[in-house]
Structure 1
Amino acid sequence: MDKKQQLFNLAGLAKRAGKTITGEELVTKAIQNGRVKLIFLANDAASNLTKKMIDKSKFYEVVVCQTFSESELSQAIGQHRKVVGIADDGFVKKMESLMTE
């Protein structure tokens, strides 16, 4: 199984475990509150959303993963979303290790 598929599966698992925060406003708040350490941002999201999320993430030292398109990300979590925050250290560690391998 390739890294992208493993990340895809982990995103779905995190969603089912209740460890995700979805939607632009909620994810932005979660970044500011330090509740998320990693976000998935659709690689085909609008440029203003992409800029906003990347700027926020840089400032608060949150990892941004742009591996998936909006449709792939939505499919992974079973909800139509452009941005998904991961609010669990265990999931974040595993996802980061997959992204850096």
Structure 2
Amino acid sequence: MEAAMTPIKDGEDAMPLGDAADAALAGASPERRCIVTREALEKDQLIRFVLGPDNAVVPDLAENLPGRGYWVTASRKVLAEAVKKNAFAKAMQAPVKPAPDLVDRIAGMIDRQIVDLLGLARRSGSLVTGFEKVDVALRTGKAVLLIEAKDAGADGRAKLARHTLPGVEIWAPLGAEQLGRAIGRDYAVHVAVAPGGLANRLKAVLRRQQGLIDDGVAGAGHAPAQPRTE
């Protein structure tokens, strides 16, 4: 049975971050309200901001900075609107002025998050790479996430997709060289991640990256592939 949600005031967290109430939701993702659209969404569909020193608008992708959180939908279009109309000033009730390149900075931060989380997964032993090892992990249900290079060959992708069990998410967020550097190799084409906290965090960040694709905003430069579940 889902926990009942209490109304969310604009510009406020639904509950204090890190509060024991989060744990009481048994792993559910509490909703937050976007300060632009005013739509209540789960946290992995939004990006948190805090009011920083000198009235700076500070992205908090890790969601651990102190202070009240202000949430914006993880969409290039909505973020661009927040910057253009300075929705932050109204929500924060402070004379803030977001950086003109805030959206592109966030896109770069998300890319770095993906790289860092892949590195953590490698060091923790919850990641395998190489076609044969990835194939075995997918066939035996030992992977919940398949990450492929954007420039991977269509044949290899198709073969792995045929062996992927239902519920496995497939993403292509990075090129082969960048994916390789993330896991300590010259390049990598296919990476499988085992179930667990790191896989869940990667999924959340990958969904945010997907929102930063070009959805009608001039100058957008990110276009990660759509996720697939087989």
Query: Does the TM-score normalized on the shorter chain lie above 0.5?
Result: yes
In the comparison of the two structures, how many residue pairs are matched? 100
| Equivalent position of 1:65 in the other structure | 171
1:5-20 alignment, distance < 5 Å: 5-20=112-127
Equivalent AA in structure 1 for residue 193 of structure 2: I
Measure how far apart 1:4 and its partner are: 1.6
Match of 1:23 among 107, 111, 130: 130
TM-score by length of 1: 0.88
Equivalent AA in structure 2 for residue 62 of structure 1: V
- Distance between the aligned counterparts of 1:84 and 1:27, measured in 2? 6
Mapped contact 1:9–1:76 kept (Cα < 8 A): yes
**Are the structure 2 counterparts of residues 9 and 47 from structure 1 closer, same or farther at C-alpha, using a change threshold of 3 Å?**
same
1:1-101 alignment, distance < 5 Å: 2-57=109-164, 59-79=165-185, 80-101=187-208
Q: Which runs of 4+ in 1 moved over 2 A?
A: 53-57
- Distance between the aligned counterparts of 2:207 and 2:194, measured in 1? 19
Say which is worse superposed, 19-28 or 79-88, in terms of deviation.
79-88
Greater radius of gyration (CA)? 2
Decide which structure has greater helix share.
1
- Distance between the aligned counterparts of 1:37 and 1:91, measured in 2? 11
Structure 2, unpaired ranges of 5+: 1-105, 209-230
**What SS is found at the alignment partner of 1:92?**
helix
Measure how far apart 1:47 and its partner are: 1.2
Structure 1, unpaired ranges of 5+: none
Mapped contact 1:31–1:60 kept (Cα < 8 A): no
**More relative contact order, 1 or 2 (CA 8 Å, 6+ apart):** 1
**What SS is found at the alignment partner of 2:143?**
coil
TM-score by length of 2: 0.41
| Equivalent position of 2:92 in the other structure | none
